[in-house]
Amino acid sequence: MMAAHLRSALGALLLAAVPAMVATQSLDPSKIPFGETPRDMWPTYYGDYSGRRYSPLDQINQSNVKHLSLAWVYRANPSSSPANVGGFGPESGSIGGGGAIQIKATPLMVDGVLFFTAPDHVWAVNAYTGDEIWHYSWRATGGLHIGNRGLGMWRDTLFFGTPDNYLVALDARTGKERWNRQIASVRQDYFTTVAPLVLRNTVVVGVGGDFLDVPGFLEGREPESGEVKWRWFTTPRPGEPGSETWPGEEAMTHGGGMTWLPPTYDPALNLLYLGTGNPNPVLVGQTRAGDNLWTCSIVAIDPDTGKMKWYYQVSPHDTHDWDAAQTPLLVDGDFGGRPRKLLLQAARNGFYFVLDRTNGEHLLTTKLIDTANWYSSINAKGQPIPNPEKESKLEGVLVSPNTSGATNWHPPSFNPVTGLHYVGTMESYTIFYKTDPTMGAQGYSAQERSGGNIRGLLKAIDYQTGKAKWTFPTANGSQGLLSTAGQLLFASDGRNDFIAFNAATGTPLWHTKLPYEKSNAPITYMLGGRQFVLVGAGDELFAFAVNN
């Protein structure tokens, strides 16, 4: 590793050659195109609003990817003394702060600057050299520090969620705090990991929390003040549509359905698409008879009012912790012989779904993994119907997949040229035990004991059939992905190898060994006439480029 003063000098020389790279740090969300990431930035968690994580960049392609080499490395240090500090926790440091971290966030890249997070922390880094520009630290009052998915941006303001449920607005140029607003109470065991999504003049943010029976919700907030514009609850109130799928007010108003990941968005239809979390109590359903809407569902929401327009439930009455938060990926393409506006989801419950996103019409259901065994049938709506024999039992019952699911929160990718939907999957078994025949005070009367992982597969799925065109064995199952117009797919084998695949065939074309397994989804951007591919592993960011 080069000495700090030498890196600084080299960075100054490089920036002199590209003087406009770190200019204003400002973003107009209305200018983000739909369907592919802008060439010179990565402005949202998904790259654009469609969830495709597809870049039109092709400077790095199948012919030259073998020359891809390391451009720079940045190591995040949460224990360093940040210039900017906020929050209400102890001054000696935030709960969970310090020590080793994992960069699970997808960095934003705007005007030559990378912005990324870890729980309680935000960094700005020069996207060309890897030099730190500023660091912000939040002193949390509690909350689960399991990870943070990243930031949203509006003009020159960044937004991020804290583990103790505050939405914080920062000046993108300096990292100074502009305001903070509480989203939910940490005393109710809510915690926030989601990356805010900004569209036009609304900041959309969700919540997490599986430990108490609290309701999930999604909020739209004013970007300048942080005030709430609307709030949509993931379970109905008494008398509302969907309330008939719960046994009563107590069950539905404490029914869970967390909003773990940012929605996708179709600007032409002006609809948000959100995957909702599992119902509570998590592993038993005796106290919540019924389908338990709107949990484990894909919902379409009007971003101006927060009103739900349609829904599709992928797991009625879930009792295995299979939320449906996985990316609702938006594609325009032919299906059934005519053009459609489609929504694709590779779901945690082990199934693959295709919907018409204009109205929620079901078009296709297939198995995502071969081992899925928890269902008894597929109904006329394409929903897998739970098999009562796969409910938790005192003697145990063998179920596939386990609670981690066939796939999880890690974002997939879609390449419009190949027409393939790329997703990391895992075939697994687990044993669910009912531990208390009286169900216990809160209904948490079941536990899981792993039956083992069978195999992980990176899959390239033809959305018109739901069948895989190619697969590649991996050790990690679910993983974050990136595809590009260079007809490359950037992924991993789960053994610390970062790999570029031929997007059409799955043939590995290049790989490098990282010190840890990659911990986020890769991004790519063009800066100073050079295409970079960036990936996080552990507490480090690695930037790669082709040497000319």
Which residues are catalytically annotated? 321
Distance CA 478, CA 457 (A): 9
157 and 4 Cβ atoms separated by less than 8 Å: no
Spatial CB neighbours of 191, under 8 Å, sequence gap ≥ 6: 143, 144, 146, 163, 164, 165, 207, 208, 209
Give 51's Cβ-side CA count (13 Å radius). Answer: 30
Report the C-alpha dihedral over residues 191, 196, 197, 199, rounded to 10 degrees. Answer: 120
Dihedral sign for Cα 87, 207, 143, 256, please: positive
446 and 284 Cβ atoms separated by less than 8 Å: yes
Distance CA 150, CA 520 (A): 10
236 and 307 Cβ atoms separated by less than 8 Å: no
273 and 353 Cβ atoms separated by less than 8 Å: no
Distance CA 125, CA 389 (A): 53
Distance CA 148, CA 162 (A): 8
User: ω into residue 412 within 30 of 0, thus cis?
Assistant: no
481 and 498 Cβ atoms separated by less than 8 Å: no
